[in-house]
């Protein structure tokens, strides 16, 4: 959102987050970008902005974003290139689209899951030609400022993925699906979720249980979600509050309470154990209509949605932590920075 000349909106968003931080006893550093909303970064670290999209203008920057149109090697009816709107006020809208008697919505990404690429030969290789990634990165703080869709039957998410997740026996080498925010439980349970899974999506798929937290609406409906991914682990944030941690060392864990619903185990904050990806991963800001994966058609709840309905994104930003090694400053994304502890899912 371009805040030039609108100090009232800027102050409202700032006050909302600062109050939430103060009430919970957490501390975040404010990062300002001229004429745009602030970022809120974990305290105690030095950060540098290394990639961002403020969604200025009226056209999607296709040097930064591509579309996910296939699901496990086949075109997927829920995905589309339609419904992408930049409002000219530095906001991106991903719209629920109804056409030809069905629903679909856009799914943006800066890279691609290898398994999605349709085969382009009758030879034995199961995937087509690799698509060049727009942006891949390792470690850092990943932040979105967004407003969520209003109606059930579809959901939005902000997450990180590895192109070859599950292709290496070690998840540190194969990558970790990091779900920073998913809202598909918002409408029924008033819950948001985030967490990690690894090992692919077959019998080797593992996870430490996603975190869940109450969705508390703000007066202007804008929210911040982020994750601090470092060699030491993952720390998840929502509106300036720490939601939970995933750490590789069991000695560092202290699980919070757990609940079982939807056939899953949900963590209520705390610290759980899980591997840390050491490979570059890509970013997704996604929406998906429910029903197609399980029944082949859309969820009837979508017929109750009042259009337009959309997932609205103000910005996506990536910050690197600057660390000092031997008197020299280096980013954690630098390959020379090692991890001394090395040994509902999106997909």
Stated as kind and residue range, the H or E segment containing 173 is helix 171-174
CA terminus-to-terminus distance, the chain: 29
| pLDDT one-digit tens code per residue, 86-97 | 999 999 999 999
pLDDT for res 324? 75
Contact residues for 167 (Cβ-Cβ < 8 A; gap 6+): 114, 174, 200
Domains and CATH numbers, the chain: 7-331 (2.60.120.200)
Residue 345 has pLDDT above 80, yes or no: no
Give the separation between CA 27 and CA 294, rounded to whole angstroms: 42
Grade residue 260 by pLDDT with cuts at 50, 70 and 90: low
Q: Mean pLDDT check: name the lowest of 32-36, 122-126, 296-300.
A: 122-126
Using CA atoms, how far apart are residues 21 and 240, in angstroms rounded to an integer? 5
Q: Which 3 state secondary structure label does DSSP give 142?
A: strand
Cis previous bond, 308, omega within 30: yes
Question: How confident is the model at residue 296, as a pLDDT?
Answer: 95
Instruction: Using the Cα atoms of residue 7, residue 10, residue 12 and residue 15 in order, give the sign of their dihedral.
Output: negative
pLDDT at 255: 61
What is the longest distance spanned by two Cα atoms in the chain?
63
pLDDT tens column, 191-207:
999 999 999 999 999 99
Helix (H), strand (E) at residue 217: none
The neighbour count for residue 339, using CB atoms within 10 Å, is 18
What b-and-e string marks burial along 257-277, b requiring 16 or more CB atoms within 10 Å of the CB? eeeeeeeeebbebbbbbbbbb
Whether the CA torsion 9, 15, 18, 20 is positive or negative: it is: negative
Q: What distance lies between CA 18 and its chain's CA centroid?
A: 22
Q: Residue 342: its pLDDT value, please?
A: 31
């Amino acid at each position: 959102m371009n805040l030039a000349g609108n100090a009232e909106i800027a102050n409202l968003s700032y006050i909302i987050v600062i109050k939430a931080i103060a009430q919970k006893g957490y501390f975040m550093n404010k990062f300002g970008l001229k004429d745009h909303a602030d970022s809120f970064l974990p305290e105690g670290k030095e950060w540098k902005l290394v990639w961002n999209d403020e969604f200025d203008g009226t056209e999607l920057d296709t040097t930064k974003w591509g579309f996910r149109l296939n699901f496990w090697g086949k075109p997927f009816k829920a995905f589309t290139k339609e419904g992408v709107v930049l409002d000219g006020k530095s906001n991106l809208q991903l719209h629920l689209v109804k056409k030809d008697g069905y629903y679909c919505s856009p799914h943006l990404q800066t890279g691609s899951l290898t398994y999605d690429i349709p085969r382009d030969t009758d030879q034995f290789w199961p995937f087509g030609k690799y698509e060049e990634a727009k942006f891949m990165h390792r470690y850092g703080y990943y932040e979105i400022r967004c407003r969520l869709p209003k109606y059930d039957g579809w959901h939005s998410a902000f997450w990180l993925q590895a192109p070859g997740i599950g292709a290496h026996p070690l998840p540190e080498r194969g990558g970790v699906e990091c779900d920073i925010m998913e809202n598909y439980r918002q409408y029924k349970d008033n819950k948001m979720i985030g967490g990690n899974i690894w090992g692919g999506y077959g019998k080797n798929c593992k996870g430490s249980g996603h975190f869940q937290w109450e969705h508390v609406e703000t007066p202007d409906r804008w929210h911040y979600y982020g994750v601090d991914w470092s060699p030491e682990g993952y720390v998840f944030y929502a509106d300036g509050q720490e939601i939970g941690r995933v750490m590789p060392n069991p000695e560092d864990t202290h699980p919070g309470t757990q609940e079982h619903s939807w056939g899953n185990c949900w963590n209520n904050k705390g610290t759980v154990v899980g591997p840390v990806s050491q490979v570059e991963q890509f970013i997704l800001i996604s929406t998906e209509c429910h029903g197609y994966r399980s029944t082949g058609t859309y969820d009837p709840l979508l017929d109750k949605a009042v259009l337009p309905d959309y997932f609205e994104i103000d910005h996506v930003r990536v910050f690197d932590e600057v660390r000092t090694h031997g008197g020299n400053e280096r980013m954690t994304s630098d390959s020379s920075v090692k991890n001394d502890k090395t040994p509902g899912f999106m997909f």
